[in-house]
Structures are given as structure tokens and as C-alpha cells.
Amino acid sequence: MRKENTNSPETATGTTSSGDTAATPDNGLSAERVAAYLLAHPEFLSQHPELMQVLTPPSRWTGDSVVDIQRYMVDMLKGEMDGLRNCAQEVIETSRNNMTNQTRTHAAVLSLLGAGDLDRLLVTVRDEWPVLLDVDVAVIGLEPGPHGPDDEGVLQDLAAGDVDRLLGMGQEAALFDVLEDDGTVFAAGGGLVQSAAMARIHLEPHGVSGLLALGSRHAGAFQHGQGTELLRFLARVTERCLTRVLAHPT
């Protein structure tokens, strides 16, 4: 007679006699052996509670005319737990993204505050901000008014009324998940930009309206419904730095 060891899963997977081979899967386990192991170790599920989330419990009643309300409630609670787990994960990811965006914005502000003249400010926006803000193009555009010359092509010339047309009358910021720009906003980078974030700039001493525009080559990089607080904060800092360097040209 074959002696069967039921003390552990490891011993249960050992070599068996030819009589057991047909009823045992390739890995050596059988339903009888698993049941025997659980009987010998009744604390197993309490030590591995995560298994209860994937195991299928039996119905309390069987038969076509009987509805197992408890089973239905358990399944419903499992679904709610999965939904809460997914929601918590989304909140964590959103918090991480917000923290990253905040850190990038702070770095961009610090770089702009160090610009002592218009040329340096324009170079900062054109060359440093795309790297710091993880975008492809960054521009400042102004409608007609007494602003300084633009030798670097970053201070984009806008037509009168362009800011209201792009953002909407009275709107401070707008996000475009898909954008086709003919160069009006992003100049030579217009053909590259597929998604954009724009914020209004007010140069009060000159009575000039302007635009801070960030462009990405990836459609959907900016989407309606995303927060614009950091974008608007960046625009407020930009307009103050512009006012300062335009008031004291070197």
C-alpha cells in the first residue's frame, strides 16, 4: 500500500505511483491533496487572507428556484472594494503628477526671475522652459503695443484681438487637447505643436494684452478639465518680469 504524505504542498508534489498519475495534474497536485493539506493546516487561509479575494466560495443553496442573496452581497462588496482600490490608485497618481508639475513650475519661475534684461528673458523662455516644463515649445506673444523689439523670435507678434479669440472673452487660460496652429501662436514651431496650454498676460503700464503659450508635440498632452492654477501663476510671474525688463531696458 502507498503511503501518502499530507503535511505540506512540497511533499504533496512528489513522485506517485502509476495508479495516481492519471488523476493528478502535471505539477503533481490534485484536489484531494490540496484538501488534505488544508485540513492538516486549518490556519492557512488566516495566514494568507489575500487568497480570499480570488477564491470562489460555494453557494449556500443550489437549485434553479433558489437565489443566494449572501453570495450576491459578497460579490457586490468585492466589486466595491475593487472600485475603491482603483480610485485610491488614481488619487495617488494624480497627487504625484500634481507634485511634479508644481516642482517644474517653481523651477521655471526661478529661472525667469534671474533674467536681468529682455534678451535673457526670451532666451530663458525659448531654451530653458521646454526642458523645465517638459514641453516642446514655449513662447510669449503680445498684441500691438509699445513693447521692445524681438530679435530672437520668442516674443511673438499677435494681431489685435488674438488673445480673446484664442482664450475666449474674459478667460484667463485655456487648454487645447488638439490644436492646429498656422504659426500665429507658436511661429516656426506651429507645425510641431499638437496640444497646447495658453494663459493671458496683462502688461498694465503699456495697456498691452499678451499670451503665454506652451506647446507639446503629443495630442492630448493638455486636456479640458485639467487644473490651470499653476499655468495662471506662471503667467502672472511672466507678466511681472516682462514689465520689469521693458521698463528698464539695458
- Looking at residue 124, its amino acid is T
- The boundaries of the domain holding residue 25 are 9-55
pLDDT for 84: 84
pLDDT for 11: 41
- The three grid cell numbers given for residue 60, joined into one nine-digit string: 449556500
Instruction: Indicate if 48 and 122 belong to the same structural domain.
Output: no
Residue 215 burial class via C-beta count within 10 angstroms: exposed 0-12, middle 13-18, buried 19 and up: buried
> 233 in a domain, yes or no?
yes
Give the rounded percent of residues in the chain with a pLDDT score beyond 70. Answer: 77
> 130 in a domain, yes or no?
yes
> 83 in a domain, yes or no?
no
Instruction: Indicate if 191 and 116 belong to the same structural domain.
Output: yes
pLDDT under 70: residue ranges of the chain:
1-27, 57-69, 72, 145-155, 206, 249-250
Do 77 and 85 contact (CB within 8 A), yes or no? no
Domain of 215: which CATH number?
Answer: 3.30.450.40
What's the structural domain count of the chain?
A: 2
Radius of gyration over every alpha carbon of the chain, rounded to an integer in angstroms: 32
Pairing state between β 173-176 and 137-142: unpaired
> 216 in a domain, yes or no?
yes
Write down the pTM of the prediction: 0.61
Q: Could you tell me the CA-to-CA distances from 101 to 80, 106, 162, 229 in Å, in that order? A: 31, 9, 28, 11
Instruction: Indicate if 121 and 184 belong to the same structural domain.
Output: yes
Instruction: Indicate if 226 and 136 belong to the same structural domain.
Output: yes
> 135 in a domain, yes or no?
yes
Instruction: Indicate if 39 and 129 belong to the same structural domain.
Output: no
Segments of the chain assigned E as strands: 137-142, 155-157, 173-176, 195-203, 208-216
> 147 in a domain, yes or no?
yes
Do 84 and 210 contact (CB within 8 A), yes or no? no
> 60 in a domain, yes or no?
no
161: left (phi over 0), alpha (psi -120 to 50) or beta: left
Give the three-class secondary structure for 219.
Answer: coil
> 159 in a domain, yes or no?
yes
